[in-house]
Amino acid sequence: MTTNAPPTMRTKQWKLRLDLFEEGDETKVHAVLDTGDNVLETRTTAHRNPHDPPVPEIGDEYAAARALIDLGQQLLRAGRSDSTANAPADAIAGTGRSRSSLPPTWPTGGAPI
């Protein structure tokens, strides 16, 4: 007899820390993402255009956005790498290729991430 048990729900909490440092016309961000399985880290900088008024929160927004974009790109690369490393050899879409010979865009099948 086969039972159709409902899928188990899994909940995780990721921790993101953004430390912003301002000095003059420069804002720096140190960002750390702790997924519980991995820790990703980046450092970014934003410089105020000398023709713009000195509004510190604009530098904060640019530097933080750049840090978040970089963390996102790191997550996409990690996912692509993990997906490729964990794909069974017979599940590589009948390409006849091994995992090591997959193109750098695998598994997206499109433009590089």
Q: What is the pLDDT of residues 72-107, one digit of tens each?
A: 999 999 999 999 888 887 665 555 554 555 455 444
- Within the chain, residue ranges assigned H as helices are 56-86
Domain 15-101 bears CATH identifier 3.30.160.240: yes
Helix (H) or strand (E) segment spanning residue 93: none
Interatomic CA distance for residues 74 and 106, integer angstroms: 16
Task: Judge whether 43 and 70 are in contact, CB under 8 Å.
Answer: no
Which residue, among 43, 48, 42, 44, has the nearest Cα to 26 in the 3D structure? 48
* Per-residue model confidence as pLDDT tens digits over 29-78: 999 999 999 999 999 999 999 999 999 899 999 999 999 999 999 999 99
**pTM flag (> 0.75):** no
